[in-house]
A and B are shown apart, each in its own frame.
Chain A
C-alpha cells in the first residue's frame, strides 16, 4: 500500500497535542476572492471542493460553512460521525466562535478537498485525533465568519464595526437597538475578504464548549431517519452480493450451476471478481440468495502471491509461532540497564501473555454504492474514515483520475477502526467493477457472514515479561518483548530497525518509576489482514502490562493500588487521577469482600495513557457459575481539556462496553486458513445483561487536549483481570476470560 504511505503519516507519528501550524496556513488567505458564505444551494459542496483543490495551504470559511437565509448553518466537517459525537463537537466549537446556537447546525462529512486536511496537515477520523487536532482551526473558522458578518452589518447599517455586537444568530447595534439576522447578512458577508486576524473567545466566556450539549443526531437516530451508507439509494440502482473465497488467496474457477443461478428470481448477472464471485440483481435478497447458491470451484493462487494465506494457518499455530519467536527484537524504550538489574535482582518475576485476533463487529455491515456518470466521473457512497485515501484508491480501481471520483461519506453505523483502507477488507473496489460491468449504479452489501470472512482483524498479541524486584519487594527492572505485527506499519510503511508503535504502545510509555526498562518489538509478520481496532495496541498491551504489574506487586507483597501510587509519586497528573478513581469507587478496596447481596467480590485497578489522555480504571467482579460477572466499572479520565462532558461520559461507557466485550468474550479463531465464526452466534459480543454500571469522573488537568473515543477502553480488561485474580487467585494471562473456568466462590 505504497500509495498511502506517501500521503498519510503513521497515526502514531502525528503531533499528539499540537493543533495545526497556524503560522504556516496564514489562515483564510484573502487572496482567494469570492467567498460563498451565504448561499445555501445544493451542489455548493462540489464547488467548494474544486476550489479547494487549487488552494492547498489556505483553508476558507466557505469550504466549511454555509449560513442560510433562515439563519441555520450547514457545517462541512472534516470528520465522519460514527457514534463518537464528533459532529456535535464540531458544531459546538464553530458555534461558540460564530455566536450561533450549535443546535441550529446541520453537520455533514466534507468531500475530499485540501481545506479539510486539519489533522496535522492530513485528514482521517481516527486515533482519537479529531477534536484535539482541529480545535484551533475550527474555532478560527467560526470566528472569521462572525467577523465577516459584523463587517457586512456595519456596511448595511452604515455604522462602525466597533459599535456592533453579536448575540446568537444575529448582529446587534446597541445604540439604535437594531438587529440583523445572520441569514440576512450572509450574502453580503460572502463578498467580503476573510479577515487576517481574529480574536477567539476567552475560555471563561464559553457558552457551549465544555457543556453537555445534546447530540445533534439523537432524534434522527431514535426515529429511523438517520441514513447510513447501507441505506443509500439512487435512480436505476441494482443491488449486489458477493461470495468470497473461503481462504484469502483463492480465486474463482468454474461454476457448477451457472445456468440455474442465472434463472433464480431477480438475477441480473453473475461476475468473477478478485477473490470473490458476485451476483447483481434487482433486490439484495435475490442477489444474496443467488450468490450463495453458486457452486464455485476455488483455485489456488499462483505461487508467490502477495499475502497468500497458508492453507494450514490457525490461530493456535500463530500463538505457538509468536511464543517461539526469539528476542531481543527492536528496542522501543530503553531506560537504565534492565538486563544487568535483572541479574542482580532479589527476585525475578516472569510471565507470558497473549490476546486473540478480534473482529470489529460494527453493526452496519460494509457496503458501497457506485454510480458512473455520463461525463466519465464516478460517485461513490462508502463508509470511510478517510475520504481522500478512498478517493485515491477508488480512482485506481476505476482507472480514472482521483478528481473524477466523488466520495460521499455518510454517517457510520459504528466503526471502531473498521473503515480504513485494508485492501481485501473494503467492498468499494468490487462495487466499482460491478457498476462498470452492468452499466448501472450498483449497491453492494456484504452479508454479515462475508464481513466476518474479510474483516481486518486486531492482530494477535503476545508479550514476554521479566521484572526484577529489590529486597523490599519493589520493582527495579522491567523487560518486555512484544511479539507480532502491528497495524500501523502494515498499512503506513515499515522503517527498518524501528519498532512499530502500534505493537508496543501501552507497554512502552508507561508512567511508573521503574528505573531500568527495556521494551522491544519482535516483528513476526501476521498472515491475516490486520487493522486498527478501537485503541489499537493499547487494547491489549495495557492488559498485558497492567495485569503483569499486579503479578509483580503480589510477588513483592505490595498492594497493587498502593504500589501504583508509590511509583507515580513524581507524576502528579497520574497520581491525582489514580486517587480520583479510588475516591469515585468509594475508596480503594481490593477484597475479596462480601457484597450486600451475599456474593463474594473483589476489585482490580489499572491505568493507561492512550491517545494523549490519561485514564484510571477500577472494576468490581464476582463469579456466577464459574463465569465472571462485572458489576461496576469506575473510570477517571483526564483528557486535559474538554468540549462536551456528556459525550465524553457516553464514550467512556461505550469504551467500557467494548473493552469488557473483548475481555470476556471475543476471539477470532482461525483453522485451515479460514476464520471459524461467520456471525454473532459464533462470535458473541457483549449483550445487555453483561453490561456493568459505569461511573465516570472527568478530570480537567489543563494539559494539552487528548483523545476521547478510545482512551476509556484499555484500562478495562486489566482492571477486570486483576479483580478476577484478587477474587480467585487465578492469573489471567490469555484472553478472553470465557476460555477459563474459575472455581466456585
Chain B
C-alpha cells in the first residue's frame, strides 16, 4: 500500500492491521516517533494525520493509506511546528525527552487548529504522559506560542 509520510509516498509491504507506529519505526527507519505503551495511554507515538494528533500505536496502517501523515522528523517544515520547537527549546522543556516528540506533535496540532487556545483548550489537548513531569514547562511553551 501507499503511505504518505512527510509529503513522500512510501510503498509499504505489510499487513493492513500493522500499527502505523511500527511501519514508521521499523519499515521506514524513522525513530523520532516513540513506542511507550502500545495502547494509546501515553501519547509518545503521536503523529499528525490530516492535521489531527493521532496515536500511531493503535492506528492500523491500512486505515490511513492515502492520508497525509506528519511525523516529528518533519515538524520544522511547518511554520507553527517551528515555533513550537523554538518554544520547547526556549522553555527548556525536555528532560529525558522520550515523550517529547509526541508532546511537540500534540502541541503543533493544537496550535495549527487553534492559534489562540485558552487554558482549558491547552489542558484538553495536551494530555500525553511525561514521567519526568515536564508538564508545567510544556504548558508554558504552548502558552508562549499562543501569545505569539
Residues of chain A at the chain B interface (Cβ within 8 Å): 82-85, 214-215, 217-228, 230-231, 233, 239, 265, 283-285, 361-365, 411-416, 445, 447-449, 646, 650-651, 653-658, 661, 679-681, 685-689, 691, 693-694
Asked if B76 contacts A362 (CB within 8 A), the reply is: no
Asked if B100 contacts A365 (CB within 8 A), the reply is: no
A82 with B39: in contact, given A283-B26, A688-B135, A689-B123 (CB under 8 Å)? no
Interchain CA distance A265-B26 in the complex, whole Å:
14
B145 within 8 A of A: no
A688 with B39: in contact, given A83-B96, A654-B133, A657-B135 (CB under 8 Å)? no
Asked if A285 contacts B19 (CB within 8 A), the reply is: yes
A239 with B26: in contact, given A689-B123, A691-B135 (CB under 8 Å)? yes
Asked if A224 contacts B101 (CB within 8 A), the reply is: yes
What are the interface flags for B32-43 relative to A under an 8 Å C-beta threshold, 1 for contact and 0 otherwise?
111111110110
Interchain CA distance A680-B40 in the complex, whole Å:
9
From B41, B72, B127, B135, A680 is in contact (CB under 8 Å) with B41
Asked if A230 contacts B71 (CB within 8 A), the reply is: no
B50 within 8 A of A: no
From B22, B25, B44, B137, A653 is in contact (CB under 8 Å) with B137
From A223, A415, A445, A687, B72 is in contact (CB under 8 Å) with A223
A654 with B134: in contact, given A222-B88, A364-B98 (CB under 8 Å)? yes
Asked if A445 contacts B35 (CB within 8 A), the reply is: yes
B3 within 8 A of A: no
Restricting to B61-119, which residues have a CB under 8 Å from any CB of A?
71-73, 75-76, 85, 88-89, 92-101, 104
Restricting to B50-68, which residues have a CB under 8 Å from any CB of A?
none
Interchain CA distance A231-B21 in the complex, whole Å:
13
Asked if A82 contacts B38 (CB within 8 A), the reply is: no
Asked if A222 contacts B22 (CB within 8 A), the reply is: no
Interface centre among B38, B97, B99, B127 (most CB of A within 10 A): B97
B49 within 8 A of A: no
Interface centre among A214, A285, A694 (most CB of B within 10 A): A285
Instruction: Write the chain B residue with the least CB distance to A231.
Output: B31
Instruction: Write the chain B residue with the least CB distance to A689.
Output: B123
Asked if B73 contacts A688 (CB within 8 A), the reply is: no
Q: State the Cβ distance, B78 to closest chain A Cβ, in Å.
A: 12
B27 within 8 A of A: yes
From B15, B42, B136, A694 is in contact (CB under 8 Å) with B136
Contacts of B31 in A (CB 8 A): 224, 227, 230-231, 233
B10 within 8 A of A: no
Q: State the Cβ distance, B20 to closest chain A Cβ, in Å.
A: 10
Interchain CA distance A113-B145 in the complex, whole Å:
45
Q: State the Cβ distance, B29 to closest chain A Cβ, in Å.
A: 6
Asked if A222 contacts B104 (CB within 8 A), the reply is: yes
Interchain CA distance A259-B89 in the complex, whole Å:
52
B126 within 8 A of A: yes
Q: State the Cβ distance, B125 to closest chain A Cβ, in Å.
A: 10
Asked if B33 contacts A650 (CB within 8 A), the reply is: no
A362 with B96: in contact, given A222-B104, A224-B72, A680-B42 (CB under 8 Å)? yes
Residues of chain B at the chain A interface (Cβ within 8 Å): 14-15, 18-19, 22, 25-27, 29, 31-39, 41-42, 44, 71-73, 75-76, 85, 88-89, 92-101, 104, 123, 126-139
Contacts of A688 in B (CB 8 A): 123, 126-130, 135, 138-139
Contacts of B36 in A (CB 8 A): 363-365, 448
Q: State the Cβ distance, A473 to closest chain B Cβ, in Å.
A: 38
Instruction: Write the chain B residue with the least CB distance to A232.
Output: B31
Interchain CA distance A416-B131 in the complex, whole Å:
10
Instruction: Write the chain A residue with the least CB distance to B94.
Output: A221
Asked if A363 contacts B32 (CB within 8 A), the reply is: no
From A214, A217, A363, A448, B99 is in contact (CB under 8 Å) with A363
Task: Please name 4 further chain A to chain B contacts, defined as beta carbons within 8 Å, in addition to the given A654-B132, A680-B42, sorted by A numbering.
Answer: A218-B94, A233-B29, A363-B130, A653-B134
Contacts of A364 in B (CB 8 A): 34, 36, 96, 98
Asked if A414 contacts B127 (CB within 8 A), the reply is: no
Interchain CA distance A653-B138 in the complex, whole Å:
12
Asked if B137 contacts A650 (CB within 8 A), the reply is: yes
Asked if A217 contacts B94 (CB within 8 A), the reply is: yes
Asked if B133 contacts A653 (CB within 8 A), the reply is: yes
Q: State the Cβ distance, B60 to closest chain A Cβ, in Å.
A: 11
A679 with B39: in contact, given A218-B93, A650-B137, A687-B129 (CB under 8 Å)? yes
Contacts of B138 in A (CB 8 A): 688
8 chain-A/chain-B pairs, Cβ below 8 angstroms: A220-B97, A233-B29, A285-B22, A363-B44, A413-B97, A414-B98, A448-B36, A657-B130
Interchain CA distance A415-B131 in the complex, whole Å:
10
Interchain CA distance A178-B123 in the complex, whole Å:
57
Contacts of A693 in B (CB 8 A): 136
Nearest 3 A/B pairs, CB to CB: A657-B133, A224-B32, A221-B97
Interchain CA distance A79-B128 in the complex, whole Å:
29
Contacts of B22 in A (CB 8 A): 283-285
Q: State the Cβ distance, B23 to closest chain A Cβ, in Å.
A: 8
Asked if B29 contacts A225 (CB within 8 A), the reply is: no
Asked if B32 contacts A413 (CB within 8 A), the reply is: no
Interchain CA distance A226-B94 in the complex, whole Å:
11
Q: State the Cβ distance, B130 to closest chain A Cβ, in Å.
A: 8
Interchain CA distance A685-B135 in the complex, whole Å:
13
Interface centre among A83, A656, A693 (most CB of B within 10 A): A83
Asked if B136 contacts A83 (CB within 8 A), the reply is: no
Instruction: Write the chain B residue with the least CB distance to A686.
Output: B133
Interchain CA distance A688-B131 in the complex, whole Å:
10
From B29, B33, B41, A224 is in contact (CB under 8 Å) with B33
Instruction: Write the chain A residue with the least CB distance to B99.
Output: A363
Contacts of B27 in A (CB 8 A): 283
Asked if B135 contacts A222 (CB within 8 A), the reply is: no
Interchain CA distance A693-B133 in the complex, whole Å:
11
Contacts of B85 in A (CB 8 A): 219, 222-223
Q: State the Cβ distance, A222 to closest chain B Cβ, in Å.
A: 4
A219 with B131: in contact, given A85-B95, A224-B73, A363-B42 (CB under 8 Å)? no
Contacts of A646 in B (CB 8 A): 92
Asked if B131 contacts A414 (CB within 8 A), the reply is: yes
Interchain CA distance A225-B94 in the complex, whole Å:
13
Asked if B133 contacts A691 (CB within 8 A), the reply is: yes
Instruction: Write the chain A residue with the least CB distance to B76.
Output: A223
Asked if B89 contacts A363 (CB within 8 A), the reply is: no
Asked if B88 contacts A361 (CB within 8 A), the reply is: no
Contacts of B33 in A (CB 8 A): 224
